[in-house]
Amino acid sequence: MKEAALRVLVVDDDKAMRSSLMDLLKAAGHEVEALPRADQVVAKLPEMLPDVILSDVRMPGMSGLDLLAALPPDSPPLVLISAHGDIATAVQAMQDGAYSFVEKPYEPRRLLTILSHAGGQHRLHQRTERLKARLRDLSGLDKQFLGQSAATRAVREEVLTVSESPASVLLVGETGTGKDVIARALHDLGPDADGPFVALNCATLSAEGFEREMFGAEGAAQGRLAAADGGTLFLDEVCACPLPVQAMLLRVLEQREITPVGASQPRKLTFRVISATNEDPEAAVEAGQLRRDVLHRLNTIRLDLPTLRARRDDILMLFTRFTGEFARVYEVSLPDMGAEDMAALMGHDWPGNVRELRNVAERFVLMARRGQASVAAALKADHATQVPDTLREAVAAFERELIARALRAQSGRMDAVAEALGIGRRTLNEKIVKLGLDKDALL
């Protein structure tokens, strides 16, 4: 396998030697820049970002050993070369941090091998440091995907596990479970974190004008898909994507190329696909809402996000965190929560999940400004005013609440629940699964 080209900075005051080294390195396929003086190196580092520095030892002004001492932390490895090398100089150079020491006249193959190893190690070190930095920045995910329950920790571990993979990821979870947060985290922790993150709400797409909007047009602004090149394409609400649009998207997902309107040649694109749905994708396929070939392209890796009902141990901690944030925003002193507040929090089903909990927390803080803070009252007011973003979500929320009430009223007797709702037992079972209702938790 051909080795990756390195960026090598050559430092030598001898013009002929400098030229000879540059010719050797360029012939080996590396990118090379050269400087005649060592005191110019530090200023050049941010511009060139070399993988390795090759420097003569004895030069006017700053020597190679002086350069070694002057390099800032985390600088590329320094390989020293000299016609005046001796054991004492080599030992001193290695003790001071030089990667290696080569005597002139040098053997070209040996020099190239040393530089290749040094540069490769530096790139590996940089990659490791970037990963560590991203993991340290995971606090951004922690702040939005809070919790210490086993279900919450499992999601965060899965995010770390799959983030480095370029494979497509399908996020499945109810509205408000944090699919957009996880999608962004997968991008930020992935290999293309420096690239763009382009989100498309598939429920709003239409076949009319799709090609111009998504593919762009020759001589005009690029389309939305091209904007994701080198980064991540996030397809939200993918099960709500119109079937004609799915057919157009399928080719993009398979070929990773688009042909702008009016163009004669396709344009290749490179992006990772992350998709999300609040519906059961297999059920959507069976119902004819989602093409199976599209699903196969999207669910290389599937992450199921837990409902708030499935991680009740997190509810109190989340509510405390949210009320604390809103108390600072609204400059309110929060009252102590009583037993009734705790019971209201833990007894609610949270069909809107964390998003609903956050809304209730804000309403609780606003009530505290009037001296009337109560979780039960905040819940009641939130349900009276909360309107889902889409008709699909509104219908699902209405069905979820209606079925939950019937289950409680009939003490979980499924035949009686189905009869009370005016639907068949099989339909009831399918809706309970699709809506993510936990019968045991409701009772």
Residue 168 is predicted with a pLDDT of 94
Task: Report the length, in residues, of the chain.
Answer: 443
Handedness of CA 209, 211, 215, 221 (dihedral sign): negative
Residue 137 is predicted with a pLDDT of 55
Residue 335 is predicted with a pLDDT of 78
H or E element that contains 375: helix 375-385
In the structure encoding, which two tokens stand for residue 142, read together? 């922690």
Q: Which residues lie across from 201 on neighbouring strands?
A: 236
End-to-end alpha carbon distance in the chain: 62
Q: List per-residue pLDDT tens for the chain, 443 residues long.
A: 345 688 999 999 999 999 999 999 999 999 999 999 999 999 888 888 899 999 998 898 999 999 999 998 889 999 999 876 667 777 888 888 999 989 888 899 999 999 999 998 888 888 767 655 555 454 456 665 778 888 988 998 888 888 888 899 999 999 889 899 899 989 988 888 889 999 999 888 888 878 888 888 887 777 888 889 999 999 999 998 999 999 989 988 988 888 888 888 888 889 999 999 999 999 999 999 999 999 999 999 999 999 999 999 899 888 988 898 888 888 888 877 888 888 899 999 999 999 899 999 999 998 988 888 889 998 987 554 455 556 676 677 778 878 888 887 787 888 888 888 888 888 888 888 777 777 766 66
Residue 1 is predicted with a pLDDT of 38
User: Identity (one letter) of the amino acid at 426?
Assistant: R
H or E element that contains 235: strand 231-236
Q: Is 194 exposed, middle or buried (0-12, 13-18, 19+ CB in 10 A)?
A: exposed
Which DSSP symbol is given to 415?
H
Residue 172 is predicted with a pLDDT of 96
- Rounded to an integer, what distance in angstroms lies between the CA atom of residue 422 and that of residue 431? 13
Residue 123 is predicted with a pLDDT of 86
Residue 2 is predicted with a pLDDT of 47
3 state DSSP class of 83: coil
Q: Is 398 exposed, middle or buried (0-12, 13-18, 19+ CB in 10 A)?
A: exposed
- Rounded to an integer, what distance in angstroms lies between the CA atom of residue 165 and that of residue 358? 32
Distances from the Cα of 25 to the Cα of 44, 92, 155, 355, 380, angstroms:
19, 27, 47, 57, 73
Residue pair 390/278 in contact by the 8 Å Cβ criterion: no
**Kind of pairing, strands 7-11 and 52-56?**
parallel
